[in-house]
C-alpha cells in the first residue's frame, strides 16, 4: 500500500484534540486517531466530534479492546470510527468478535501485538483471525522502565511473517517514524513525541511548530518508497 500518515491524538479532552487534528489535517495527515487517553477522557463523544469536524478522514478508535469485542467495535463504528484496535493478547474469541462487528458495520480492525510474549506468532494469529492491519507497539510504561526498547526489536520479523500492512509505534523519533515505509511499515503514526510533555499528556509545541513538524513528516513519508512495493 501507499504510505499513510496518521496522527495519534494522545490528549485528554476534545478541545485540544480538535485543535491538534486541525493542524494535522492542514499539514496533510491522512488518518486521525482518537488515542486511548482521549477515549478514556471523553469516550464516544470524542469520536463523534472528530467525525463531525473531519467528515472525510478515516478515524481510528484506539480502544485496545480486551473483551466485549463486538459491542465496543459496534459503538465506535456508530460514533463515526472507521478503524478500531483490538489487542493480540485478548482471547481469540474477542478478536473474532471485533472482526465480525467490523464486517457488519463496514469498518476495519487493527491488531496490536503489545505485551505478547511471542510477537511474530501473535501477528500471524491476528492475521489468521481476520484483522486488517498489525500494530507493532512498544508500550509507554515498558519504555519508561527500559528506554532502549522500541518497535525495531520485532518489526522486521513481523513484517516478514504477515501479508497485511504493518504499523510501528512507541519510542520512535520523528525521523524514525518518517523512515518506517522503508522498513516495510507503510502506516506511519506520530503523536507521542508531539504531545507528551514529561509525564503529562498535553501539547508540548505551539501550533506553528507543530504544523512545520507535521508538514516535514508528511513530505518525507510521501516521498518514501515502501519496502516490497
Domain count, the chain: 1
Q: Report the CATH number at residue 80.
A: 3.20.20.70
Asked if residue 82 belongs to a domain, the reply is yes
Q: Would you say residue 217 lies in a domain? A: no
Q: So what's the pLDDT on residue 193?
A: 64
Does 216 map to a domain? Answer: no
Task: Determine the structural domain holding residue 129 and report its residue range.
Answer: 4-205
CB atoms within 10 A of CB 140: 17
**Domain for residue 103, yes or no?**
yes
Residue 44 lies in a domain: yes
164 lies in some domain: yes
DSSP H or E segment with residue 108: strand 108-112
Q: Is residue 228 part of a domain?
A: no
Q: pLDDT tens digits for 95-120?
A: 999 999 999 999 999 999 999 999 99
pTM: 0.94
pLDDT tens, residue by residue, 62-99: 999 999 999 999 999 999 999 999 999 999 999 999 99
Instruction: Tell me if residue 153 falls in helix, strand or coil.
Output: helix
The H or E element containing residue 171 is none
Indicate if the pLDDT at residue 203 is higher than 70: no
Mean pLDDT of 173-200: 84
Amino acid at each position: 500500500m501507499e504510505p499513510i500518515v496518521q496522527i495519534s491524538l494522545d490528549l485528554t479532552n476534545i478541545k485540544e484534540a480538535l485543535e491538534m487534528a486541525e493542524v494535522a489535517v492542514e499539514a496533510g495527515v491522512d488518518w486521525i486517531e482518537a488515542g486511548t487517553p482521549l477515549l478514556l477522557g471523553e469516550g464516544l463523544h470524542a469520536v463523534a466530534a472528530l467525525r463531525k469536524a473531519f467528515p472525510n478522514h478515516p478515524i481510528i478508535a484506539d480502544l485496545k479492546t480486551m473483551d466485549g469485542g463486538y459491542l465496543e467495535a459496534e459503538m465506535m463504528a456508530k460514533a463515526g470510527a472507521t478503524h478500531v484496535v483490538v489487542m493480540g493478547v485478548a482471547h481469540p474469541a474477542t478478536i473474532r468478535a471485533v472482526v465480525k462487528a467490523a464486517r457488519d458495520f463496514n469498518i476495519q480492525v487493527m491488531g496490536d501485538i503489545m505485551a505478547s510474549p511471542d510477537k511474530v506468532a501473535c501477528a500471524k494469529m491476528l492475521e489468521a483471525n481476520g484483522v486488517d492491519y498489525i500494530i507493532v507497539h512498544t508500550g509507554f510504561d515498558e519504555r519508561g522502565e527500559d528506554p532502549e526498547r522500541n518497535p525495531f526489536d520485532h518489526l522486521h520479523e513481523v513484517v516478514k511473517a504477515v501479508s497485511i500492512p504493518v504499523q510501528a509505534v512507541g519510542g520512535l523519533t520523528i525521523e524514525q517514524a518518517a523512515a518506517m515505509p522503508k522498513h516495510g511499515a507503510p502506516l506511519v503514526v506520530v503523536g507521542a513525541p508531539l504531545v507528551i510533555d514529561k509525564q503529562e499528556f498535553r501539547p508540548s509545541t505551539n501550533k506553528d511548530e507543530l504544523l512545520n513538524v507535521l508538514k516535514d513528516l508528511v513530505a518525507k513519508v510521501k516521498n518514501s518508497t515502501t519496502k516490497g512495493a
